[in-house]
Amino acid sequence: MSISASSQAANPTRLWPGPWYRKSPFFEATQRYGCKAYDIYNRTYLPAEYDDIEAEYDALTNRVTVWDVGAERQVEITGPDAFEFANLLTPRDLNRCAVGQCKYVLICDQDGGIVNDPVLARLGENHFWLSVSSSDVLLWAKGVAAYAEMNVTIDEPDVWPLQVQGPKSKDVIGALFGPEVRDLKYYWFAETKLADIPVIVTRTGWSGEVGYEIYLRDGRFGDRLWERVMEAGQSHGIRPIAPSEIRRIEAGILNWGSDMTLANNPYEVGLGWLVDLNKEADFIGKAALRRIQETGVSKMLVGVEILGDRLDTYLHEYREVANRAGETIGRLSAAIYSPRLNKNIGYVTVPVAYSQPGTELVIRYPHGPRAANVVEMPFFDPSKNVPKS
C-alpha cells in the first residue's frame, strides 16, 4: 500500500511503507476513517490530513476530535535511581512533581541547547515516562545513563497515545471512564482500564482546547480502543483529525524541529520559565544556562501578524525575514490563517532589537513580500483558561 504525502498535489508524492517506518496500533483505523496524508514523526506514521484544515479546526474548537498520536513515543525511566536520573535530564525541579502528575519539561544538552520538550509523567516514586517530540531522546537518555553511574533502566514501552480534544471531550471521557477521570485536574493523570484495555488518561493535549490523552498500554487493543472512543463520541459529532496547526499556533505552542532545535536555548524561545536554576540538584546544561541567563540572548522567537490577504495553507518551509531597510535579519518558522482571529499569524526568530511588539518586519514569500508586525504571544487565551476549564 502506498501512502500519500501530499493529497492536495496533482501528482502526489508517495511514501514507501517500509519496515523502518512504524505504524501505531491505530493506523488501520485511520485508513478506514479516511486519512489522506501522513507525516513521518519519530520514524512513525502520523496522520497529517483527513479534510480541509479549517474543517478540522472547526470540529476541534466546536465539538470533539480524536487524534492518532502514537508517533509520540515514550521513553520510560525506571530503577532505584530513576528520580535522580530524571532530575538530572531536565532543568525543571522534579521535587515539585507528585506521583500522578505531569509536567511540561525541557531536556537540554551541556551547552543549554534544547534536545526535546516532552511531557513528563510520574507514575511512581522511581517511574517516569517522557512523551517526546521527534528527536532521539531514547538514545540521548541511554547515552547519559551509560556514564551517570546510576541504577536505572531506559526503555521504550508498548505505549501509544490517542488524543481526545475539543469542548465536548469531557463528555466523551466521562462516558468512557466515569466522572473521576473526566474531572482530572489539568496536567494530572489516572491509571485505569476500559473493560480489559489498560490505559493511562492524562489531562493534557497539543491543542489549547479542553482535552485528554489516552495512553494505550498494550498495542494489541489499538483498534478496539479507537472504536470505543468513536462510539462514545458519536452523539457529539466526534471525528478524527490531524494535529491542528491553526490551533497550536493560536495557543503559542512550539514545535520542536522547526520553531526550536538543538541550536536554540530555552531563553531564546520564551521557555526560560522551565529552567529552575535554583534547584539543589545538578542537571545537564546548568552552568551553560546560568551563563546565558546572566549575559542575555542575541535573538528571540516572537509572534507576528502577517498583513495582507489570508494565507492559503500552512507554511511548510522557512521564509526569510527582513527589516524595513531590506536587510535579512531572521526567519519565519510557522505561519497560518486563523479563522477565529481573522488574521495571518506566525512565529519569527529575529535579533532582540527587533523583538518588541509593534516592530515592523517584512516576510519574503516567493510571490512577493508581506508586511508583518511583532505582536504579543500567545495569540489567543494567554491565561490558558480554555484547556484548564
Best CA proximity match to 222, nearest among 161, 157, 132: 161
Rounded CA gap, 168 and 257, in Å?
A: 31
Is residue 388 a part of any domain in this protein? Answer: no
Note the pTM of the prediction, 2 decimals: 0.94
Residues 274 and 358 in one domain: yes
Is residue 256 a part of any domain in this protein? Answer: yes
What's the pLDDT tens digit per position in 130-139? 999 999 999 9
What's the pLDDT tens digit per position in 298-328? 999 999 999 999 998 766 678 999 999 999 9
Residues 269 and 351 in one domain: yes
Residues 333 and 374 in one domain: yes
CB 380 within 8 A of CB 316: no
The predicted structure's pLDDT at residue 386: 97
Reply yes or no on whether the pLDDT at 11 is more than 60: no
The predicted structure's pLDDT at residue 127: 98
Rounded CA gap, 314 and 306, in Å?
A: 13
The predicted structure's pLDDT at residue 318: 87
Q: What is the mean pLDDT of residues 108-134?
A: 98
Residue 151 three-state SS: coil
Share of the chain above pLDDT 90, in %: 92
Is residue 386 a part of any domain in this protein? Answer: no
CB 44 within 8 A of CB 74: no
What is the CATH number for 150?
Answer: 3.30.70.1400
Q: Confidence band (pLDDT; 50, 70, 90) for 6?
A: very low
Is residue 387 a part of any domain in this protein? Answer: no
DSSP character string of 82-124: HHHHHHHH-SS-GGG--TTBEEE--EE-TTS-EEE-PEEEEEE
Residues 373 and 271 in one domain: yes
Rounded CA gap, 123 and 360, in Å?
A: 47
Q: What is the mean pLDDT of residues 41-54?
A: 96
Rounded CA gap, 267 and 275, in Å?
A: 9
Reply yes or no on whether the pLDDT at 3 is more than 60: no
Rounded CA gap, 360 and 357, in Å?
A: 9
Residues 6+ apart with CB under 8 A from 96: 103
Q: Confidence band (pLDDT; 50, 70, 90) for 9?
A: very low
For the chain, what is the domain count? 3
Reply yes or no on whether the pLDDT at 2 is more than 60: no
What's the pLDDT tens digit per position in 147-179? 999 999 999 999 999 999 999 999 999 999 999
Share of the chain above pLDDT 70, in %: 95
Residues 109 and 179 in one domain: no
138 Rama class: left (phi>0) / alpha (psi -120 to 50) / beta: alpha
Please say which residue of 248, 280, 304 terminates a domain. 248
Residues 265 and 368 in one domain: yes
Is residue 329 a part of any domain in this protein? Answer: yes
Residues 226 and 295 in one domain: no
Residues 147 and 296 in one domain: no
Please say which residue of 248, 276, 294 terminates a domain. 248
Residues 335 and 255 in one domain: yes
Reply yes or no on whether the pLDDT at 7 is more than 60: no
Is residue 35 a part of any domain in this protein? Answer: yes
What's the pLDDT tens digit per position in 269-281? 999 999 999 999 9
Q: Which residue has the cell 541550536?
A: 263
What's the pLDDT tens digit per position in 183-220? 999 999 999 999 999 999 999 999 999 999 999 999 99
Burial 237-262 (b: 16+ CB within 10 A, else e): ebbbbbbbbbbbbbbbbbbbeebbee
Q: What is the mean pLDDT of residues 123-143?
A: 97
What's the pLDDT tens digit per position in 73-83? 999 999 999 99
The predicted structure's pLDDT at residue 15: 65
Q: Which residues pair with 131 in a beta bridge?
A: 74, 119
Reply yes or no on whether the pLDDT at 12 is more than 60: no
At CA 42, angle to CA 301 and CA 273, rounded to 5? 35
What is the CATH number for 256?
Answer: 3.30.1360.120
Residues 17 and 100 in one domain: no
Q: Which burial class, exposed, middle or buried, applies to 383 when counting CB atoms under 10 A from its CB (0-12, 13-18, 19+)?
A: exposed
Q: What is the mean pLDDT of residues 47-63?
A: 97
Q: Confidence band (pLDDT; 50, 70, 90) for 14?
A: low
Residues 67 and 123 in one domain: no
Structural domain harbouring 146: 74-155
Is residue 132 a part of any domain in this protein? Answer: yes
CB 230 within 8 A of CB 214: no
Q: Confidence band (pLDDT; 50, 70, 90) for 19?
A: confident
Is residue 235 a part of any domain in this protein? Answer: yes
The predicted structure's pLDDT at residue 228: 98
Grid coordinates of 203: 489531562
Q: What is the mean pLDDT of residues 232-256?
A: 98
Please say which residue of 155, 178, 211 terminates a domain. 155
The predicted structure's pLDDT at residue 18: 81
Reply yes or no on whether the pLDDT at 116 is more than 90: yes
Kindly report the average pLDDT of the chain as a whole number.
95
Residues 91 and 118 in one domain: yes
The predicted structure's pLDDT at residue 314: 67
